[in-house]
Structure 1
């Protein structure tokens, strides 16, 4: 009779390693753009320093994916989802703090003009599965919808 740990070892060995095509990291902006396009428009471009950046829309909301930890504008390590709204200063720090206290995903703050910004950092150093990043994109979509509905409807 096999011991429980032997059964686990056999099952893990039978499953085999993840294939390289299932792993996504920030060194592949085009793959991230493809995944983001599943939630709306997504165009790969560059930021002011030449690092990759993806601009697009999710459910009508303009947003961007900014790449960080890049070496010579490639081989990036992390990304950040971000969206900002021009609102003529009608929101308060208390509105942002209330969101930050209750929301699981996405941090909110007021920019230098008093306009709300929602961001979500994603560590992709060493990679994640495509399914994981797709799920993270979906959490970003949910955070955008909730932020618009709970904060920006004031």
Structure 2
């Protein structure tokens, strides 16, 4: 009897595996990522200067962009990068950026060529991740944006 239970359980596991694989989200389908982005605020799918997809959106009023990387002919991309920049805020120091990077797990900070603060977060979704995983990445991005605005930019 226990062999039969094992066989039924194994068959059920293998029967659901293809369905689970189809549910994985990767950078080859920007529309699915856009759908998730819209759950966190406004978002639109566009193209960057190279013709690769990009998403522009807002989370809690903060404008950000998701860039798609590793694309082949502007499709079949490998990973994504969250990006936010604050123009005209060139009163910040490299020491502040270093302190952020030293003390925070999510969101890499630096000063761009104009000395404006930038926050980025790379998300490896090559080979696919679950919807819950990508939603968790959006949550970490939201936390990083909120913390950066408070701790570095001095905004509430």
**TM-score, length-normalised on structure 1?**
0.89
Shift of 1:11: 6.2
User: Residue 50 of structure 2 corresponds to which residue in structure 1?
Assistant: 49
| RMSD of Structure 2 on Structure 1 (CA) | 2.1
Shift of 1:88: 3.9
Cα distance in 2 for partners of 1:11, 1:148 equals 50
Are residues 1:110 and 2:95 paired? no
Shift of 1:13: 5.8
Shift of 1:89: 1.5
**TM-score, length-normalised on structure 2?**
0.88
Shift of 1:55: 0.4
Whether contact under 8 Å (2:67, 2:80) holds in the other structure is yes
User: Residue 135 of structure 1 corresponds to which residue in structure 2?
Assistant: 136
Q: Which has the higher strand share?
A: 1
User: Residue 123 of structure 1 corresponds to which residue in structure 2?
Assistant: 124
Shift of 1:124: 1.2
User: Residue 62 of structure 2 corresponds to which residue in structure 1?
Assistant: 61
How many aligned positions are there?
150
- Evaluate the alpha carbon distance shift between residue 21 and residue 93 of structure 1 in structure 2; reply closer, same or farther with a 3 A threshold: same
Cα distance in 1 for partners of 2:10, 2:123 equals 28
Whether contact under 8 Å (2:89, 2:117) holds in the other structure is no
After the TM superposition, which segments of 4 or more aligned residues of structure 1 sit over 6 Å from their partners?
9-12
Cα distance in 2 for partners of 1:147, 1:88 equals 13
Shift of 1:127: 0.5
- Evaluate the alpha carbon distance shift between residue 108 and residue 10 of structure 1 in structure 2; reply closer, same or farther with a 3 A threshold: farther
Cα distance per residue 1:82-114 (max 9 Å; x no partner): 000013411000000000001110000000000
Cα distance in 2 for partners of 1:133, 1:13 equals 29
1:4-43 equivalent positions in 2, closer than 5 A:
14-15=12-13, 16-17=16-17, 18-43=19-44
